[in-house]
Amino acid sequence: MPLSRAEAGRDVVVMDVLAGRGLRQRLMDMGLVPGAVVRVMSNSSAGPLIVAVKETRLTLGRGMAHKIMVS
């Protein structure tokens, strides 16, 4: 499922990033690589998602989060 559909408070594992080379590299530089455990801190129906990767919190736009496949 896409990260944009994950519930707040849940830990998910990144499976794949379905994006072009530039966005994929940008997300990888932020720690969103396959196998990374991500905690969804906030996911309201509108607006950006806030996620925690290791010790860092990231704000992702909904379109960007929709391209990150998690389980």
Whole-angstrom Cα distance, residue 48 to residue 50?
7
CATH number for position 59: 2.30.30.90
Express each pLDDT in 8-57 by its tens digit.
Answer: 999 999 999 999 999 999 999 999 999 999 999 999 878 899 999 999 99
Helix ranges (H only) for 1-71 are 21-29, 62-66
pLDDT value of residue 56: 94
Q: Domain range spanning residue 11?
A: 3-70
pLDDT at 46: 83
User: Structurally, how many domains does the chain consist of?
Assistant: 1
